[in-house]
Amino acid sequence: MKKLQIFICENFYPEYQAALQREGINDVNLSIFPSLCDSKKEKSEVTKIFSKAKKEQSVLICSRSCDALKLINEEIITETISSNYCFSNLISDEFLNYLIAQGNYIISTGWLKKWKSHLANMGFDKETARMFFKETSKQIVFLDAKIYDNAEDSLKELSSYLDLPYLIVPINLKIIQLLLKSKVYEWRLHNQKQENTGVINELRSQCADYAAVFDILGEISSYTNRRDVIGKVKDLFMMVFGVQKFKFWSGNSKLMPSELRDFKSNDDNYLMLKNENRFCIKVSWNDHLYGVLDASAFLFSKYIERYLNLALDISKFLGLVLYNNEQYEKIVKSENKLKYISFHDSMTGLYNRNYLNQLLTNKVDNEVKIIFMFDIDKLKYVNDNFGHIEGDKLIKSFADILNQCFRKEDIVIKIGGDEFTAFLYDGDEKTAKSIKNRILNLIDRYNEKLEKKHLKLSVSIGYVINQNNNETIEDFMKKADNLMYRDKMRKD
């Protein structure tokens, strides 16, 4: 039996092998070549493997940056399928870009199974591996297709060896399955004898369907917004299936029709309503129901069963995309929260010294027009004689006043126990005087309402206007600080 030969890197062989098995495709010979990422010494071995390819029956799948592309004989291996990353057919490029930008080291099942030999090929022992990975990576991210039973045990061992934390990101093989289906149908069509007109027409139709679906699903996987994802799926159903009516019912929608509520509660994955020229499919991942795809009014109703089979593939992939969107949102929220905590004072909610340090690193000298320095008078006296809880009340009260006096675009920072600063990106002497007077007026109002005399608020203030004299922010802060202390000395 003729077979299509597909060359795939050893790091991704398990995923592609599993995809072929799930689709029941038996006319493909999956040929492995050694990873060239670990060691360039394998080039001669890869060249040798490629030389055994069968002309017009061989395909290479790899990334655009893979050295394997330079080693093929184009007269023998006539087709290559390349993507931005080695992992692009496992997870969206946008998610990959995000993971890479966060300093993650991404691994596949094939790499994890042979992690010891991969590190050895890279020339590392335990000490040098730890040193390298700690300098280049924050954590290990494993793209888990649930095809390796001992994956977490191996991951824990690798994590301990490198002294790095790990994160498991579940993935679905639907993109690979659709890619392989599309390529196999195309190859079968090419190899059919012309007299088999019916078979050829069917294969052509399947090729067109899967090619269109594969392209659009690649686009869908890049979206991080649920509405955009569903909108693109609707476009796909209208374009490929000729659907005239499409609706995605959220899993908790109260407007869901009664027949779909019954369908939602049973174990079936789809509901075929031929007499209505309609089918409905559940969209779920890890037993969590995201909703129901409701498609009807097909232009070519005689193909509805074929459309259903393809739509079932799409729904499984859609479930993973919606799950990944949730995970992405959680990660972003978590990182935003950590970023907020690291750059804000927990007591007042104002920016803190960490944020000031970053600001100084960014060199915004010419952009800042006014700099204020503030110091709460006699805060130490209150802390020493009445306790830090009472002193904190003074700090919070002054922070509230600053929030009232400065705009959202101004930057107000608590830089120490009793010290604050503020940066304004526009304004002049008149602006600065107006803000100072407003602060003093609000302090007077605050003090008038006080019952506890020791909580009376007094603040020393200094400010400087940027005259574009090529001075640094630090220079301006020192000048404002000196003026603030002069103000304090006048009170003493």
Which 8-state DSSP code applies to residue 10?
G
Is the pLDDT score of 225 beyond 50? yes
Which region holds residue 392: left if phi is over 0, alpha if psi is between -120 and 50, else beta? Answer: alpha
Burial class (CB in 10 A: 0-12, 13-18, 19+), 429: exposed
Give the Cα separation of 97 and 315 in Å (integer).
25
Please say whether the dihedral angle defined by the alpha carbons of residues 10, 12, 14 and 20, taken in this order, is positive or negative. negative
Q: Residue 472 contacts by C-beta under 8 Å, 6 or more apart in sequence?
A: 365
Question: Cα separation of 296 and 308, whole Å?
Answer: 11
DSSP character at residue 344: B
Average pLDDT estimate for 146-166? 93
Using an 8 Å Cβ cutoff, are 298 and 307 in contact?
yes
pLDDT recorded at residue 200 = 44
Most confident of 1-5, 185-189, 387-391: 387-391
Q: What is the mean pLDDT of residues 309-336?
A: 79
Percentage with pLDDT > 70 across the chain: 90
Highest averaged pLDDT of the listed ranges 49-63, 150-164, 444-458: 150-164
Mean pLDDT of 166-180: 85
Q: Is the pLDDT of residue 214 over 50?
A: yes
Whole-angstrom Cα distance, residue 219 to residue 92? 8
Burial code (b: 16+ CB inside 10 Å, e: under 16) for 442-481 equals bbeebeeeeeeeebebebbbbbbbbeeeeeebeebbebbb
For position 361, what pLDDT does the model report? 80
Residue 390: count other Cβ atoms within 10 Å of its Cβ.
15
CB 15 within 8 A of CB 176: yes
Q: How many CA atoms lie within 13 A of 405 on its CB side?
A: 25
Assess whether pLDDT exceeds 50 at residue 199.
no
CATH homologous superfamily, domain 353-491 = Reverse transcriptase/Diguanylate cyclase domain (3.30.70.270)
The pLDDT assigned to 173 comes to: 87
Q: What is the largest CA-CA distance in the chain?
A: 105
Structure tokens that stand for 352 in this block: 């803190």
**Domain spans in the chain, listed from the N-terminal domain onward:** 353-491
Q: Which residue has the tokens 């060199």?
A: 363
